[in-house]
Amino acid sequence: MRTWMVAGNWKMNNTIREAIDLAKGVKDGAAGIKGGEVVLAPPYTALQSVYETIKGSQVLLAAQNIYFEDKGAYTGEVSPAMLKDAGCTYVIVGHSERRKYFYETDEGVNAKAKKCLQAGLKPIICVGETEVEREKGVTEFVIGIQVKKALHGIDKLDNIVIAYEPVWAIGTGKNATPMEAEEVHRFIRNVVGDMYGEICKKIMILYGGSVTSENIGELISMEDVDGALVGGASLKIDSFLGIIRNITEKQK
């Protein structure tokens, strides 16, 4: 039986003070919630303050990125050990904004995912097709390559989360329908099954792309949708808690 997860990706938003307030609101609002995980991914500057705020609660910390070397002359980068030291449990890897603006490749995503695992961090690996790719009917082709390359050379699936985030749905208000999401989630689970066998039933696959408290109910009802990676709606306490509440309602 898979549990659920809701992860808030704050992107390049929130000062330290704002981050602490938001994290405190989420921590208080999510207190007592059972059967799943709530994760917050603040910008690097607020990681440690958010960790101090949520420490001891059921809310966990994620970084939005990682570098795949241990230390050295890599100006502007942050290592796995630094993220562990700041209190991270998870790391978002290969978000489409990183692929688009910072030219991250599938090979780089793979290197980062491996490095997370070596360091005891859990990667949330993002995959997703563009609008043009969907229109051309190559969604499964594109997602298949992204998943296989991201997992290349990784022998165990434990501690890996995959997030299906159609690029056309991120920050656009145009979410995938529950059926569209389910089709791709099932496809991803099958690709993982071809690589690892039966254990694919255990991997958590999140949906991301304009998730709100209004649309999460139907999305989470789909068999292969195990939770959400949330951008915009994670920046307001009420909308983020509304998403968590609606998931837990569906699990009853």
Q: Which residues bind ligand PEP (CB under 6 A)?
A: 9, 165, 170-171, 208-211, 229-233
Catalytically annotated residue among 95, 97, 133, 180: 95
Which pair of structure tokens corresponds to residue 3? Answer: 């549990």
What is the distance between the alpha carbons of residues 102 and 99, in angstroms, rounded to a whole number? 6
Residue 41 or 121 with smaller CB distance to ligand PEP: 41
* Smallest distance from ligand PEP to CB 205, Å: 14
Whether 248 and 226 have beta carbons less than 8 Å apart is answered as no
165 is catalytic: yes
Whether 96 and 11 have beta carbons less than 8 Å apart is answered as no
Residue 35 or 171 with smaller CB distance to ligand PEP: 171
Residues 6+ apart with CB under 8 A from 168: 129, 130, 131, 134, 174, 209
The closest residue (CB) to ligand PEP is: 231
* Smallest distance from ligand PEP to CB 4, Å: 16
95 is catalytic: yes
Residue 121 or 124 with smaller CB distance to ligand PEP: 124
What is the distance between the alpha carbons of residues 28 and 18, in angstroms, rounded to a whole number? 16
What is the distance between the alpha carbons of residues 6 and 223, in angstroms, rounded to a whole number? 16
Phi, psi of 204 (to 5 degrees): -85, 130
Catalytically annotated residue among 37, 129, 133, 165: 165
H helix runs in 93-167, sequence order: 96-101, 106-118, 131-135, 139-151
* Smallest distance from ligand PEP to CB 46, Å: 17
Residue 116 or 126 with smaller CB distance to ligand PEP: 126
AA identity, residue 49: S
* Smallest distance from ligand PEP to CB 18, Å: 17
Active-site residue list: 95, 165
